Structure 1
Amino acid sequence: MFNYCEKELRFLTEKQVERFFDILNQSSELIQKERDQSYLDSLIETLTAVQDQDTSDLDLTADSMKKLGRIYSEFNRDDYDSETLRKGIQLAILKAIKVDDIQANYQITPDTIANVIGYIISGIFRGTDSISLLDPAMGTGNLLTALYNQLSNTLALTPTVSGVENDDAMFELAADSFEIQHIRAELFHEDAIQNVLAPMVDVAVSDLPIGYYPIDENAKGFATHSEKGHSYVHHLLIEFAMNHVKKDGFGIFLVPSQLFQTDEAKQLLKWMQGKIYLQGLLNLPSELFSNAAAQKAILILQNEGGHAKQADPVMLGEFPSFKDQKAFAKFLTEIDAWEEKDLK
């Protein structure tokens, strides 16, 4: 009986996600066609208009305004929980990426990976009465909102969240997503490498952009900057993030699996010495990536101080296929045991 109800509930939730996505999609397509603009820009306008139930700022024909009014009348915020709204927005952003052929840095962290990160954080902070998060490169805010919703349920508390994003369109999408989900957050529309006055937090978490940071002058103040040429942006963001983590707080990042196997890694490791414990590096299943060079891992760092100590052993390994539920569950059990016995 329980399984039947669980399946029924999942079906209803999926229908609600589709329903909300359909509202966003109909509106975005209508605005896109009449304005002859990108789907992404149309989605940003849609997210504001659907929340306000107001088409007056869209500057469309009277006929289009009427159509949008009918579309928006189908949306009642109280009919949806935050996670359903997040997934609907996620689908709309995925469509924008496809329709507009958007560059790779708009890609969204898959929910399976976000769930694993949330699982790790939940285990570390189980029993706590508060937790604060910072994403120094939040993009569209999907990872941060996914974690907020997950941690609210697993830890039975309201996380405090902050995010930094420099890209105009991604910041607007993130801000709208937080607002429609009724998640209070401190958001900074700035370049983190220019030393944003972000708060100190318990956990820094991010699906880090990979590549070179173009403005060498901005990178000079970072210990992880390259002595010659451009610096790796993911190195700089790790340093920025850990500088905004409290004593014995954590940094959990999606990074290239080969992070410590490049020439530039020497500078990163030198900066970590005496400041930060490398607690874990868990490769994600290789099947998720087109080739070995593209493979990513979950990096677990911890600031020294407080009750922090070097985990022994460091958690190293590779997740089994997410499709192999038995092996995947066994690996999560091993993470649980490591967090309890070796990390804490």
Structure 2
Amino acid sequence: MTPVEQLFTAFNTTADILKEELSSTYLEALAESGENMFQGTVLQDELNEVTTKRLDKVYKEINLDSFSNEEIRKGFQLAILKGMKEHTQPNHQMTPDSVGMFIGYLVNKFVAKKSFRLLDPAVGTGNLLATVLNQQTDKEIESVGVEIDDLLIRLAFVNANLQKHPVEFFNQDSLEPLFVDPADAVVCDLPVGYYPNDLRAEQYEVKAKEGHTYSHHMFIEQSTKHVKEGGYLFFMILMAFLKVNKPQCSMSSLKTI
């Protein structure tokens, strides 16, 4: 059994147990199990002694320090993908590994600093952010992730903890005002669709003349407001990535590289 298979088996087995005992969804149980594995103990007090011992046995067989961050990410990713198949929602989709690796490669090539800030305004389960971070070897990175979905950001939080990535998470609508320091780079798998809050959309340059505004257009504009001069924005939509030439620039000052 490969390390990734070993980790997936542990996540899957314990999530199935917790799903049944807590009467929750698989993804909710997976978040609980991931936190247990990170803390090295069973945190759910409502479980009976037999169930606690079953879980504890599986957790003790896994020494996270013996696995690489990529092995942990992939093992957790497989468990999340299983959960998403069982409980599919439009906003519960994960960035493919090929895309994450490509964006990570671009960040590594374009951001030459040894220490920088990285923002993902639609962090989801944290898979894209973790994939990018795992490719930034020998660099000190302060990361920020924003996500409106309670379950997804909880999975992202557990994902970051398991890989020991210091990430600051904000559970909020990313298109509302963000109180975060400017980043050197932004990475994002842009949510595609219409933004329902027309009053908020009115504050954006890209607002539609009639009807709802595209949320992915608003995410791009929002990102330009939270990146430093000379910083980079890497978006997954049509695989475009942009460089900001001026601080707090307008959409017209963006150049596609």
Q: Same fold (TM over 0.5)?
A: yes
Give the corresponding residue for 1:34: 21
Deviations 1:123-147 (A, max 9, x none): 2234x32232101101011000110
Note the C-alpha offset of 1:310. Answer: 8.5
Give the TM-score normalised by structure 1.
0.69
Distance 2:254 2:72 in 1: 40
* 2:242–2:254 CA contact under 8 A, matched in 1: no
SS state at 1:104 partner: coil
* 1:45–1:58 CA contact under 8 A, matched in 2: no
SS state at 1:198 partner: coil
Note the C-alpha offset of 1:55. Answer: 2.0
Note the C-alpha offset of 1:222. Answer: 1.3
- Could you tell me which runs of 5 or more consecutive residues in structure 2 were left unpaired when the two chains were aligned: 248-252
Instruction: State the structure with more CA Rg.
Output: 1
**What percentage of aligned pairs have identical amino acids?**
34
SS state at 2:2 partner: helix
Note the C-alpha offset of 1:58. Answer: 4.8
> What does 1:123-142 align with in structure 2 at a 5 Å threshold?
123-126=109-112, 128-142=113-127
Letter in 1 for 2:92: Y
Q: Is 1:107 the equivalent of 2:93?
A: yes
Distance 2:104 2:24 in 1: 36
Which residue, out of 129, 146, 171, partners 1:144?
Answer: 129
Give the corresponding residue for 1:6: none
CA RMSD of aligned residues (A): 1.9
Give the corresponding residue for 1:73: 60
Give the corresponding residue for 1:117: 103
Give the structure, 1 or 2, with the largest relative contact order (CA under 8 Å, sep 6 or more): 2
Give the TM-score normalised by structure 2.
0.92
Number of residue pairs matched by the alignment: 252
Give the corresponding residue for 2:235: 253
Which residue, out of 218, 223, 233, partners 2:215?
Answer: 233
- Could you tell me which runs of 5 or more consecutive residues in structure 1 were left unpaired when the two chains were aligned: 1-13, 256-296, 316-344
Q: Which has the higher helix share?
A: 1
Distance 1:123 1:253 in 2: 15
Give the corresponding residue for 2:250: none
* 1:28–1:43 CA contact under 8 A, matched in 2: yes
Distance 2:75 2:43 in 1: 24
SS state at 1:159 partner: strand
> What does 1:116-195 align with in structure 2 at a 5 Å threshold?
116-126=102-112, 128-152=113-137, 156-195=138-177
Distance 1:115 1:130 in 2: 20
Letter in 2 for 1:93: I
Letter in 2 for 1:253: F
